[in-house]
Copies of this chain bind each other. A is one copy, B any other.
Amino acid sequence: MKVDVALVHYPVVNRIGETIGSAVTNLDLHDIARAGKTYGVGSYWVVTPFEEQLQLAAQIVGHWTEGYGGSVNPDRGSALSIIRLCATLAEALEQATVDHGVRPLVLATCAKRQANSRSYGDVRELIRSEVPLLLLFGTAWGLSPEVMDMVDGVLPPICGPTPFNHLSVRSAASIVLDRLLGRPECWEFEQ
């Protein structure tokens, strides 16, 4: 499997649909890195064009991968070691192309259904066929239209038995990774 994820802090939209840049948060780094490590994600790209945000993210990651945090909690260091920082999505895509020797298929996630949906079943098949994937998650109110326009497909929105669909990006990323990379045989008694 060749699955990478990117958490996009710019360009995303705010609640009234304007394009903004959002702030990096500590728990987005930790939770998505831990879920990524669990499900075998190769790289977890944290995308922000703001130099100070990149420095903050690098300090947090360094604390756990090289500093005191990792010496106390090596599992956390192991999780955060999949984080790679970059200024733009184009940069992440370029580097992922170098990593895999081929441009990955870029799939967005969105709380609203899009025309170019790819089902979870289809994407599981692509992963099984070793097609490299880059899964995009948007912070704030989600990925901006310019990002949605450049992707190869969009996963269906996560829905439960209610019309409420305001999951945190941490929850959404965890659920998407479980749906795409989870082992259904582990749902039962035997492993």
Contact = CB atoms under 8 A, between A and B. Distances in A.
Sort chain A's interface into a size bin: 35 or more
A165 B40 CA distance: 11
Given A120-B187, A187-B156, A170 B168 contact: yes
Q: Which 8 A-B pairs have the closest CB atoms?
A: A171-B174, A39-B160, A120-B187, A119-B188, A38-B160, A159-B186, A31-B168, A40-B161
Given A31-B170, A34-B171, A170-B31, A160 B178 contact: yes
A167 interface: yes
Contacts of A79: 164, 166
A27 interface: yes
